[in-house]
Amino acid sequence: MYAAYTVFIVALVVVMSPVLLYQALRYRKYITNFKQRMGYLPVSFNLDGDSSIWIHAVSVGEVLTARALLPELRERYPRLKIFLSTTTLTGQQIAAKQLQYVDQVFYFPFDLGFSLPMFNRAEIRSAQAERDVAGERLLALQAQIYGEVAAAERAEDGARASAQAAAKNLGDAHERRRQAEVGQRLGVLGSEELAAAQALELRGEIDALQARTQWQAARDALEDALHAPLSGPELDLAHTLPSLAEKEER
């Protein structure tokens, strides 16, 4: 599919080449930014290949939309470089003049395999392979998290049902103890029957208290499963997703 897309784009460029050539000679369009569109960006953009944020805005509308995101991105990720690419000349001009918190602005490279620098292809293939592996790890982690949440939900459902059953049993025990007290006052039941009803009521209170405690613990466990922050190896997954833009910069 990508090969067909590449062939179509190349054919379109060939067909449009007279118009593009005329505009380049007559209006100096496409000449100054052709190198960037072929994937050759200045090494000074990211000399050390540090982690960064890449925002792509096609034209003026997307550039103005991105402007609202930049202050929060800079505040949340103060150590990361922020790059913005555009497709159109007007978008490039607006971005260069009006955007703050952006380290560099450049033209979006053509989405063609041969538009990337030849000496970077091995690094790009390596980055793609690492990204695929990291993606599989993320999917496995996602399945694990979903499994833990589902197990916590089942445990909470069971604990809630047990607590509700214990509460019902306690209510029945209260009623039996009340009836035993009435029966004793009327002389129908003796002290042994009342003592048995009171013992059953006490046992019901203990069971209800234990069931409520277990239910609360299950609810806390479910809450932890739903809101547990990623840490350790999970957090390191973010660093196993190399940016192709970073590889090209090196």
Residues 24 and 80 in one domain: no
Which residues constitute the domain of residue 15?
Answer: 1-31
Sheet holding 81-86, edge to edge: 52-57, 81-86, 104-107
Which one-letter amino acid corresponds to residue 150? A
Q: Is residue 123 part of a domain?
A: no
Q: Coil, helix or strand for 72?
A: helix
Q: What's residue 122's pLDDT? A: 58
Q: Is residue 129 part of a domain?
A: no
Low-confidence ranges of the chain (pLDDT < 70): 1-2, 5-6, 9, 13, 20, 24, 27-28, 30-31, 43-44, 47-49, 111-128, 131, 228-250
Residues 145 and 226 in one domain: yes
Q: What's residue 63's pLDDT? A: 92
| Calpha distance 169→197 (Å, rounded) | 13
φ, ψ dihedrals at 100, nearest 5°: -105, 170
Q: Assess contact for 115 and 37: CB atoms under 8 A.
A: yes
Residues 151 and 175 in one domain: yes
Q: What's residue 167's pLDDT? A: 92
Residues 186 and 152 in one domain: yes
**Which residue, 34, 33, 47, is CA-closest to 95?**
33
Q: Is residue 3 part of a domain?
A: yes
Q: What's residue 113's pLDDT? A: 58
Q: What's residue 157's pLDDT? A: 92
Residues 105 and 163 in one domain: no
The domain total for the chain is: 3
Residues 145 and 191 in one domain: yes
| Calpha distance 202→195 (Å, rounded) | 10
Q: What's residue 58's pLDDT? A: 87
Residues 182 and 146 in one domain: yes
Q: Is residue 121 part of a domain?
A: no
| Calpha distance 32→41 (Å, rounded) | 12
Residues 27 and 52 in one domain: no
Q: Which helix (H) or strand (E) holds 25?
A: helix 2-27
List alpha helices for 186-243, DSSP H: 191-227, 233-236
Residues linked to residue 86 through DSSP beta bridges, in sequence order: 57, 107
**Verdict on whether the full-model pTM lies above 0.85:** no
Q: What's residue 222's pLDDT? A: 86
Residues 2 and 91 in one domain: no
Residues 51 and 80 in one domain: yes
Segment 45-101, tens digit of pLDDT: 775 667 889 999 988 999 998 888 899 999 999 989 999 999 888 898 899 888 988
CATH code of 76's domain: 3.40.50.11720
CA dihedral 208, 211, 216, 222 (to 10 degrees): -150
At which of 115, 148, 168 does a domain end?
Answer: 115
| Calpha distance 201→207 (Å, rounded) | 10
| Calpha distance 136→160 (Å, rounded) | 36
Q: What's residue 83's pLDDT? A: 92
Q: Is residue 244 part of a domain?
A: no
Residues 60 and 12 in one domain: no
Chain position carrying tokens 């209170």: 205
Q: Is residue 70 part of a domain?
A: yes
Q: Assess contact for 155 and 218: CB atoms under 8 A.
A: yes
At which of 81, 115, 149 does a domain end?
Answer: 115
Q: Assess contact for 228 and 152: CB atoms under 8 A.
A: no
Q: Is residue 77 part of a domain?
A: yes
Q: Is residue 171 part of a domain?
A: yes
Residues 140 and 204 in one domain: yes
How many beta carbons lie within 10 A of that of residue 222, not counting itself?
A: 20
